[in-house]
Amino acid sequence: MEKLPILYEDKHLLLVNKPAGIAVERDRYRNPSVEGRIADYFNTLKLPHNTIIGIAHRLDRPVSGVMLVAKKKSVLVHINQQFEAGTIKKVYFALTENKPEKNKATLSNFLFKDVQKKQAIIYDKAAKNRLPCTLDYIYKGETSLGHLIEIHPHTGKFHQIRAQLAHIGCPIIGDDKYGSKKLYKENEIALHAFSLTFFHPIEEKEMTIEAPLPGEFELII
């Protein structure tokens, strides 16, 4: 099985660059997954018997980028607490079909998760079963494929970035679920989790780990 690119590793944590097109967790059909590849990797090492594959957060199957995995239960608990407290910072980059009207803005909406369609629906007004979702974005410029946008989500709702960008007329390239008409790579969309900033539970220091941007995200100078 293909190895995952490792961005950082110590006795407590593993951060990898998740390839787009594969799921995070294993399924009963043994399809390629981040969890499965980490299990294969761990099997090649002499690790303590209490080592776990602690999935702390998830990325959608068609999305690439930095993902954090805890190796110990106590570390996973600490990381989960940071996520719940909202102290972990994420930065994403996306290529969109259209240029947003504003070069810099905050999007504050309400998100309804349609379970049957596995899709997020964005509304401008609050109502029952609609969850608040907020992100900041910065327009960075044009690439050979589309428009590069830097995204700082303040909430982590289902398909939030994909749905909120589509709501302002800027669907992510390849994301036909949210209105994209432009083709991208098979089973992928042009959304990349670029960085994750968190507090190391054991070393007690803030860390920022980055996953290099795909080549097609390079700006036209």
Show which residues are catalytic. 60
Do 170 and 187 touch, CB atoms closer than 8 A? no
User: CA distances (Å), 8 to each of 4, 17, 69, 75, 205, in order?
Assistant: 12, 10, 10, 15, 15
DSSP result, 115-137? TTTTEEEEESS--TT-EEEEEEE
CA distance 103 to 139: 5
Strands (E), 143-217: 147-153, 191-199, 206-210
DSSP result, 22-63? SBSS--TT---BHHHHHHHHHHTS---TT---EE-----TT-
